[in-house]
């Protein structure tokens, strides 16, 4: 996973001057892995091309060899998160069967994609600003939320969801729970690099989202 294994260059940031003639062995993908770390640490607004150059250990002109600039890097990084999320909606189990089962699949897979693409989804969830790339990301995020909210409404119309919580509000709280993972999950702190923990988190999300905390039997 690119997200969790930045290339060696990314680990040396700050250890040497930015444009030290270091050989540029980056691909757009590995450059993105470094970029997304810096955006998440400093904020998109607070990140300059200088910061990216220093973190990547290559000159700004080397970065411009790969992309047109900071805004394109943002678009590529959040695009990766969005592509992963939208792909879920086309999976067979998201389009076939009862809405409540499709919804359960989408909830499970959304948590999985969030964990697999953690830095990219973290960046997507923190986008707030007014540049064209940020507005585009916010719009696509809203589209995704609307698609899921439709599924919640369809499941509610079938009588498969509880009737005493509005679908729109349920969708917001449900995604609030899932999205909160980016705030407290730190795969590096997990003994096995996070895989086992990620599976337990996904199961917990699905169980709590659909069944709640209280024992019912």
Q: Does 142 bind a copy of itself (CB under 8 A)?
A: no
User: Could you give the CA distance from residue 214 to residue 200 in angstroms, rounded to a whole number?
Assistant: 18
Q: How many residues bind a copy of itself (CB under 8 A)?
A: 41
* Residue at token pair 């998201």: 94
| 39, 124 contact by CB (below 8 A) | no
C-beta of 69: minimal distance to a copy of itself in Å? 22
Which 74-113 residues touch a copy of itself, going by CB under 8 A? 100
Piece in contact with a copy of itself (CB under 8 A), picked from 1-9, 80-88, 113-121, 155-163? 155-163
C-beta of 176: minimal distance to a copy of itself in Å? 2
User: Could you give the CA distance from residue 198 to residue 213 in angstroms, rounded to a whole number?
Assistant: 19
List 11, 65, 146, 172, residue binding a copy of itself (CB under 8 A): 172
Q: Does 139 bind a copy of itself (CB under 8 A)?
A: no
List 2, 131, 177, 187, residue binding a copy of itself (CB under 8 A): 177
Q: Which of 78, 95, 91 is closest to 140 using CA atoms?
A: 78
- Give the CA angle between residues 193, 197, 199 to the nearest 5°: 115
């Amino acid at each position: 996973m690119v997200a969790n294994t930045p290339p060696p260059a990314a680990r040396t940031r700050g250890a040497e001057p930015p444009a030290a003639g270091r050989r540029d062995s980056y691909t757009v993908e590995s450059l993105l892995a470094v970029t997304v770390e810096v955006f998440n640490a400093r904020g998109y607004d607070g990140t300059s091309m200088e910061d990216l150059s220093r973190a990547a250990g290559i000159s700004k002109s080397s970065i411009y060899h790969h992309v047109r600039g900071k805004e394109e890097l943002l678009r590529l990084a959040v695009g990766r998160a969005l592509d992963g999320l939208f792909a879920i909606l086309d999976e067979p189990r998201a389009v076939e069967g009862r809405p409540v089962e499709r919804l359960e699949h989408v909830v499970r897979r959304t948590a999985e994609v969030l964990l697999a693409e953690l830095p990219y989804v973290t960046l997507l969830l923190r986008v707030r600003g007014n540049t064209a790339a940020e507005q585009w990301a916010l719009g696509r995020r809203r589209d995704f939320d609307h698609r899921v909210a439709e599924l919640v409404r369809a499941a509610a119309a079938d009588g498969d969801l509880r009737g005493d919580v509005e679908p729109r509000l349920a969708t917001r709280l449900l995604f609030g729970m899932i999205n909160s993972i980016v705030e407290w999950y730190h795969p590096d702190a997990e003994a096995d690099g996070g895989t086992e923990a990620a599976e337990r988190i996904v199961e917990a999300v699905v169980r709590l989202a659909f069944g709640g905390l209280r024992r019912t039997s």
